[in-house]
Chain A
């Protein structure tokens, strides 16, 4: 996705909502038991049980999302003056 092209305030809010959603999804994947599943379909909790590479990759993506959100908050702070009367 071309999230980098989303520049205005509203776009940034949407971007943050997506990063937040990704973090929620990845944190569910790193749990020992998934919150819900489909009958007769093995979930990631059964397939990747005890798989270090899986958890590491999830943490990497989560770190990226946190860094992006932090960058957005920092840039928001810098442009705060533009929004004050």
Chain B
């Protein structure tokens, strides 16, 4: 078996185990498990990606539990989830995965009323695309699709009245 196949096989097993982790309404405990898992399997991209998705699911579950009206405690938890994903994304190798996760995290942040985080995640997505620019059809098609999806999402994102207006939009063009 080739090395890559072996990595994929091990990653798949770990992913299956991670998917089984559930501490019910004790979301903090689940997040702690995911934090430990990230430290252990940081070199397995497939596992890291699944961990990011699972943490975003935790943030959405928290939103559902408090029915959109956050208390100090739930707000802090959701911020921790978003911060977890935000700092984990750059460790991934695939640019496409990074960009999609940035967009998904921005959506989750806005859902939980974290406007500042939403803005910085969108800027993160933009700088990832800019830093890894490739003159290939595949990359440009991926970029266009992600920018169009981000624009559709940005309809709901409020601008900062004290800062520059349409900063992210101008970044796209």
Contact = CB atoms under 8 A, between A and B. Distances in A.
Interface of A: 1-3, 5-6, 10-11, 14, 17-19, 21-22, 24-26, 28-29, 34-44, 47-48, 53-54, 57-58, 61, 64-65, 68
Contact of A1 (B129, B154, B158, B165): B129
A37 B110 CA distance: 10
A7 to B, nearest CB: 8
A57 B68 contact: no
Contacts of B151: 21-22, 24-25
A53 B147 CA distance: 25
A61 B151 CA distance: 14
Given A1-B171, A19-B173, A24-B151, A37 B135 contact: no
Interface string B133-163: 1010100110110011001101110110100
B158 A41 contact: yes
B111 A14 contact: no
B166 A5 contact: no
Given A54-B165, A61-B166, A37 B156 contact: yes
A76 B165 CA distance: 32
B113 A41 contact: yes
A35 B152 CA distance: 11
